[in-house]
C-alpha cells in the first residue's frame, strides 16, 4: 500500500475535526497532511497524532503535490476550489451538496455502491447525512427483496448545522431553564424544547431542500431513477446523531428473522431491537458510533409486503467524515 498526501478543506469545522479523528483512528496511510480553511482561521493549530499542525489559507494553489482532498467547507467553496484540485491531479471527496447530482460525478456509500468510484473524473461526492444513514439501514433489506417504495421521516440533530447549531441549542436551553428570552441566530425558530420542519427552502411542491436531497440521492445511488420515495425532514433538539422512521414496501414479504440477520451481517449496521425491554435505536447510543443502529423492525399492518423500522446514526461520523474517509480508503 502506498502513502498519500492528503488535504483537509474546512479543517476547523465540525466535520473537519472529525476527519482528523477518523484518519487517526483508521490509521490512514498518510505521507503528509495539510489543513486548509478560510483566511480568518490562518494561524490556528490542530493536533494530529501528537503533532501540532498549522492551519493554512485555502487558495487555488493549495493542492499542488496533494493526492486526495477531503472537502467540508460548504458548496460554494467546493465549486470554487475543487476544480483547482482536479487540475493538480488531486482527487476531491466532497462533503457538500455542490456535485452530488452532477452527471458524471459518482455519489457513493462504500457499503452500497463502491463500484461507482471507478467512474470518477477527479471528484467523488459524499451523500447527504440523512441519505447515508437511511441507506445503511435499508440496503441489506433491499438485497433480500427489492424495495418498491420508501416513506421516511427524519429527526435531525442540530450538529447538522455545525458547531454554531450546537451552541445555539445549548445557549437557548440554558435561557429557557433560567426563564430568560432566547435568541435565534442559526435557526429560524427556537430549537430548545421545540422541533420544526428542516430549516431549508421549500419548493413549489411543498418539499424542503433536505427532503428533495434524500429523494434524488437515493435514486442516484441505487441507480433507480423512478424509485418511489417521499421524505419529511424535521429538526429536533438533539445535539448529535440523526434518527429516522422508515416504512418500506417490498417486492416480496420477508421473515423478520431474515431481516434482522441481513442487517446484523451488513458491515456498518447493527440491530438494536429488544421488544421485551423496549430498547431500540436512540441518538444518544448512536453518538460516536461508526455503526448505524436499526430497530423497531416489524410488519407494516397497512401493507401486504410492508416493513417498518427505526434508524439512528451519527451524522458527523458515518453521515459525513467516516463515509468520506472510507471512500478514500477504496481509492
Cα separation of 183 and 164, whole Å? 13
Q: Which of 129, 142, 198, 233 is catalytic?
A: 129
242 is an active site residue: yes
Report H helices in the chain.
14-25, 75-87, 129-144, 162-177, 209-221, 256-264, 283-286, 322-330
Cα separation of 131 and 206, whole Å? 19
Task: Please name the helix (run of DSSP H) or strand (run of DSSP E) that holds residue 93, with its range, or none.
Answer: strand 91-94
Contact 208, 201 (CB under 8 A): yes
273: left (phi over 0), alpha (psi -120 to 50) or beta: beta
The neighbouring-strand residues paired with 46 are 53
Q: Which of 17, 120, 142, 242 is catalytic?
A: 242
129 is an active site residue: yes
- The count of residues in the chain is 331
Residues forming the active site = 129, 242
Amino acid at each position: 500500500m502506498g502513502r498519500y498526501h492528503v488535504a483537509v478543506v474546512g479543517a476547523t469545522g465540525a466535520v473537519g475535526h472529525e476527519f482528523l479523528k477518523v484518519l487517526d483512528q483508521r490509521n490512514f496511510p498518510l505521507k503528509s497532511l495539510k489543513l486548509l480553511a478560510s483566511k480568518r482561521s490562518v494561524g490556528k493549530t490542530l493536533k494530529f497524532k501528537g503533532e501540532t499542525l498549522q492551519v493554512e489559507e485555502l487558495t487555488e494553489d493549495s493542492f499542488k503535490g496533494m493526492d486526495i482532498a477531503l472537502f467540508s467547507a460548504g458548496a460554494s467553496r467546493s465549486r470554487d476550489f475543487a476544480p483547482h484540485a482536479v487540475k493538480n491531479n488531486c482527487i476531491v471527496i466532497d462533503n457538500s451538496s455542490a456535485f452530488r447530482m452532477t452527471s458524471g460525478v459518482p455519489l457513493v456509500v462504500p457499503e452500497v455502491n463502491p463500484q461507482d468510484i471507478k467512474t470518477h473524473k477527479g471528484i467523488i461526492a459524499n451523500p447527504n447525512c440523512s441519505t447515508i444513514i437511511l441507506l445503511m439501514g435499508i440496503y441489506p433489506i433491499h438485497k433480500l427483496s427489492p424495495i418498491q417504495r420508501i416513506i421516511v421521516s427524519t429527526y435531525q440533530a442540530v450538529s447538522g448545522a455545525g458547531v454554531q447549531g450546537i451552541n445555539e441549542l445549548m445557549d437557548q436551553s440554558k435561557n429557557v431553564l433560567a426563564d430568560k428570552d432566547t435568541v435565534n441566530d442559526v435557526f429560524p425558530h427556537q430549537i430548545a424544547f421545540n422541533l420544526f420542519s428542516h430549516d431549508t427552502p421549500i419548493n413549489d411542491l411543498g418539499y424542503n431542500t433536505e427532503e428533495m436531497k434524500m429523494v434524488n440521492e437515493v435514486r442516484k445511488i441505487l441507480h433507480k431513477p423512478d424509485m418511489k420515495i417521499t421524505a419529511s425532514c424535521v429538526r429536533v433538539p438533539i445535539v448529535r446523531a440523526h434518527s429516522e422512521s422508515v416504512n418500506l414496501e417490498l417486492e416480496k414479504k420477508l421473515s423478520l428473522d431474515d431481516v434482522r440477520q441481513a442487517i446484523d451481517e451488513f458491515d456498518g449496521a447493527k440491530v438494536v431491537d429488544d421488544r421485551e425491554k423496549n430498547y431500540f435505536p436512540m441518538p444518544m447510543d448512536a453518538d460516536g458510533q461508526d455503526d448505524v443502529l436499526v430497530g423497531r423492525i416489524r410488519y407494516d399492518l397497512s401493507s401486504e409486503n410492508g416493513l417498518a423500522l427505526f434508524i439512528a446514526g451519527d451524522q458527523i461520523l458515518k453521515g459525513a467524515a467516516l463515509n468520506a474517509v472510507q471512500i478514500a480508503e477504496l481509492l
